[in-house]
Amino acid sequence: MTADLTSPTGATAGAAPGGWTDRPTTPEGWVERARQVATTLAADAVQRDRALAVPTAEVQLLKDSGLVTLLGPVEHGGAGQDWTTALRVIRAVSAGDGSIGQLLGYHLLWFWAVRLVGTPEQVAAVEEQATKEQWFFGGAVNPRDADLVITDEGDEIVFRGEKSFSTGGRVSDVTVLEGVLDGTDKHVFAIVPTQQPAIRFKGDWDSLGQRLTESGGVVIDGVRVPWEAAAGYVRTANGWEFQPRVYNTLNVPLIQIIFANIYLGIAEGALATAATYTREKTRPWPYTPDLKETATQEFYILETYGELRSKLWAAEALTERAATLIEAINAHADTVTPEERGEAAVLIAAAKQVAIDTGLEIGTRVYDVTGARATASSVGLDIFWRNIRTHSLHDPVAHKRAEVGRYALLGELPEPTWYT
């Protein structure tokens, strides 16, 4: 996580963005930019999903649009935006393509990870280089695989093992590794160049949804990292030690609110796609005394759109409210208390589950308002249900509910874990 990482992208600061000749200057501008990206992505999202196409061009689009450096410092060419905007951008991109929205969301989290756990020097160095060189981040950090073991070799540490899921894998420039120092319970994060012989992606991600997230397994066979690049570790009299603070544990609330925004974005995409179909193709039902001239006059169709739209707005409003807690925490990272962190985690857990319920319902019910012919594979309206259904299983929603319940009933805040 220091600046001496050889450029993994080969890019240089100020690389000409493809297609766009300027950069937005306002939060609204960046969200609008994300919508443009989404429109581009939506055009062939179903086809790419079917083909399980490696999203190389799509990651390039994210780079060209400036979204990859959305959180990067302005002085290094980044957009300098905050997480309020970042979450809206993730949501907007997900409306066009849930997979690419996820790739962007995870990237932004890992881009931010150095802020969560790094030293001030590491933060400065990583943000500068990642921004200037437009790094796209992947990550091998799935915590339920305790399979990455780290050996301490003095000045360096060496990662060896496997992770079942490594989102962003083959399309990333750098990969965030997470492992446990052998013989200890010390977790170490480090950013390493993706292209190196010691990292081998299995390319085995073939799932129901979020198919273009490059989330397959990875084999790590001797990735060497200098201790200086171990995020947050500093040399002490007792060797390299990590200095914990509450803010370290914000990664889970942050990734969870990213999830919520991915689901909301996908659900938005579903509603918008369905509405276009209903307006353009759905026929009124001829075998009823309550005959209508167009499908858009059918009471049940209007009522269903109204109900789904209302629920989705509610889920979004709660997610936006949760984002204000994240923003408030980011404003004083060094002094955030466990209570603040816990309350954000609870509200985010709540937002996530409402987003999931709403998204799954929308994913299924859009067919009721589009009709039988909308099941043609050429329409591809199932991509939304598949995408939400797949990712929403990341951790069991029942346990998330219980977590919120412990707070609502007992006032208990969740203990930070890899999922809370």
* Of residues 249 and 390, the one with the C-beta less far from a copy of itself: 390
* Of residues 239 and 299, the one with the C-beta less far from a copy of itself: 299
Tokens 């994060």 map to which residue?
A: 189
User: To the nearest whole angstrom, how small is the minimum distance from the Cβ of residue 261 to a copy of itself?
Assistant: 14
How many residues form the binding site for a copy of itself (CB under 8 A)? 82
Stretch that binds a copy of itself, among 65-73, 132-140, 201-209, 228-236 (CB under 8 A): 201-209
Cβ-contact 295, 282 below 8 angstroms:
yes
In the three-class reduction of DSSP (H, G, I as helix; E, B as strand; rest coil), residue 157 is classed as: strand
Tokens 């984002």 map to which residue?
A: 323
Site for a copy of itself contains 55 (CB under 8 A): no
Among residues 21, 197, 239, 299, the one that binds a copy of itself under rule CB under 8 A: 299
DSSP assignment string, 230-265: STTEEEETTEEEE---GGGGGHHHHHHHHHHHHHHH
User: To the nearest whole angstrom, how small is the minimum distance from the Cβ of residue 197 to a copy of itself?
Assistant: 28
Q: 218: closest CA among 235, 195, 249? A: 195
Site for a copy of itself contains 291 (CB under 8 A): no
Cβ-contact 90, 105 below 8 angstroms:
yes
* Of residues 16 and 372, the one with the C-beta less far from a copy of itself: 372
Q: Which are the contacts of 232, defined by CB distance < 8 A and separation ≥ 6?
A: 117, 118, 119, 122, 189, 242, 243, 248
Residues numbered 123-182 forming contacts with a copy of itself, rule: CB under 8 A: 144
User: To the nearest whole angstrom, how small is the minimum distance from the Cβ of residue 147 to a copy of itself?
Assistant: 15
Site for a copy of itself contains 98 (CB under 8 A): no
N- to C-terminal Cα distance for the chain? 26
Site for a copy of itself contains 368 (CB under 8 A): yes
Site for a copy of itself contains 364 (CB under 8 A): yes
Site for a copy of itself contains 406 (CB under 8 A): yes
Tokens 């980044």 map to which residue?
A: 78
Structure tokens at 89: 């951008």
Site for a copy of itself contains 261 (CB under 8 A): no
Tokens 């881009």 map to which residue?
A: 111
CA distance 250 to 340: 10
Cβ-contact 122, 232 below 8 angstroms:
yes
Counted residue by residue, the chain has a size of 420
* Of residues 57 and 408, the one with the C-beta less far from a copy of itself: 408
* Of residues 26 and 313, the one with the C-beta less far from a copy of itself: 313
Site for a copy of itself contains 418 (CB under 8 A): yes
Site for a copy of itself contains 389 (CB under 8 A): yes
Burial, 29: exposed, middle or buried (Cβ in 10 Å; 0-12, 13-18, 19+)?
A: middle
CA distance 251 to 106: 11
Site for a copy of itself contains 327 (CB under 8 A): no
Structure tokens at 190: 């480090």
Site for a copy of itself contains 347 (CB under 8 A): yes
* Of residues 160 and 292, the one with the C-beta less far from a copy of itself: 292
Stretch that binds a copy of itself, among 148-156, 179-187, 231-239, 390-398 (CB under 8 A): 390-398
Site for a copy of itself contains 385 (CB under 8 A): yes
* Of residues 206 and 334, the one with the C-beta less far from a copy of itself: 206
Question: Kind and range of the H or E element at 103?
Answer: helix 98-117
What's the DSSP call for residue 416? Answer: P
Site for a copy of itself contains 200 (CB under 8 A): no
Site for a copy of itself contains 310 (CB under 8 A): yes
Site for a copy of itself contains 290 (CB under 8 A): yes
Stretch that binds a copy of itself, among 32-40, 115-123, 173-181, 365-373 (CB under 8 A): 365-373
CA 349 to chain centre: 15
Query: Interior CA angle at 342 toward 401 and 229, to 5°?
Result: 115
Site for a copy of itself contains 401 (CB under 8 A): yes
Among residues 91, 132, 187, 400, the one that binds a copy of itself under rule CB under 8 A: 400
User: To the nearest whole angstrom, how small is the minimum distance from the Cβ of residue 257 to a copy of itself?
Assistant: 14
Site for a copy of itself contains 201 (CB under 8 A): no
